[in-house]
């Protein structure tokens, strides 16, 4: 009886610790400037002479990318909170740490372009966190499969931005290019840990939600 009570107390404490870590992650993502261990891609390049229209375009696209990283932070925090396997939890936390660097890169580039971050970041974070929690509750193979599919869709989204960014905005292009490489690595990692292929209706729903988010974040 005592052993069962002790195990219950330990599980409760672990869950509380996870909730505190998740809350701290939310505050850090939404209220503080992200930090990066790696140098910002393209930081050694000179600032290009961009027209006002080109600056607005690059700024809006980088704002969309920043929102994507806010969502990634929330998603991985939510998934890690409900993931059942310790190795899966560590995989998700490692991905979240790397996404923090993307957050820092896009935030810095937005400032350099004279733009602003999305006004709806708290909404994006809350919605993505909830999705992550649900994904984690479905089991580790679906949790990792969701991560992999998310990264595949983000990679396609970044490839599209490379087509839209002004050709002479090499600093923004360098950031997006490295982000695309990292996202592909995250997808491969998730599949290597046993991520399952998601059903087509789920993939379609994810794409639809992503489209609404990106189109809204472009302006707001």
pLDDT at site 21: 53
Closest CA to 62 of 140, 114, 7, 133: 114
pLDDT tier at 22, thresholds 50, 70, 90: low
Radius of gyration of the chain (CA): 18
Tell me the three state secondary structure of residue 168: coil
- Give residue limits of the domains in the chain: 53-219
Residue 128 has pLDDT above 70, yes or no: yes
Instruction: Specify whether the CB–CB gap between 137 and 194 falls below 8 A.
Output: no
Task: Write phi, then psi, for 168 (nearest 5 degrees).
Answer: -90, 0
Q: Is 182 exposed, middle or buried (0-12, 13-18, 19+ CB in 10 A)?
A: buried
Residue 41: CB atoms within 10 Å:
20
Tokens representing residue 144 in the block: 């990792």
Q: Which residue has the tokens 């372009």?
A: 113
Quote the CATH superfamily of domain 53-219.
Answer: Ferritin, core subunit, four-helix bundle (1.20.1260.10)
Residue 15 has pLDDT above 80, yes or no: no
pLDDT tier at 5, thresholds 50, 70, 90: very low
CA 10 from centroid of its chain's CA atoms: 31
């Amino acid at each position: 009886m005592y052993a069962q009570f002790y195990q219950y107390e330990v599980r409760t404490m672990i869950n509380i610790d996870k909730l505190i870590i998740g809350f701290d992650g939310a505050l850090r993502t939404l209220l503080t400037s992200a930090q990066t261990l790696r140098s910002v891609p393209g930081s050694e390049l000179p600032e290009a002479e961009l027209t006002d229209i080109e600056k607005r375009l690059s700024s809006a696209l980088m704002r969309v990318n920043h929102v994507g990283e806010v969502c990634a932070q929330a998603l991985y925090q939510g998934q890690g909170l409900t993931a059942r396997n310790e190795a899966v939890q560590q995989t998700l936390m490692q991905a979240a740490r790397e996404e923090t660097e993307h957050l820092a890169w896009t935030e810095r580039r937005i400032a350099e372009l004279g733009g602003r971050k999305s006004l709806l970041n708290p909404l994006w974070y809350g919605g993505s966190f909830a999705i992550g929690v649900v994904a984690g509750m479905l089991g580790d193979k679906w949790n990792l499969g969701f991560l992999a599919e998310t990264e595949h869709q983000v990679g396609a989204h970044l490839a599209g931005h490379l087509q839209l960014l002004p050709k002479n905005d090499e600093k923004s292009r360098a950031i997006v290019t490295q982000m695309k490489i990292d996202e592909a690595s995250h997808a491969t990692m998730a599949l290597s840990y046993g991520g399952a292929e998601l059903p087509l209706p789920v993939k379609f729903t994810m794409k639809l939600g992503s489209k609404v988010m990106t189109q809204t974040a472009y302006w707001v």
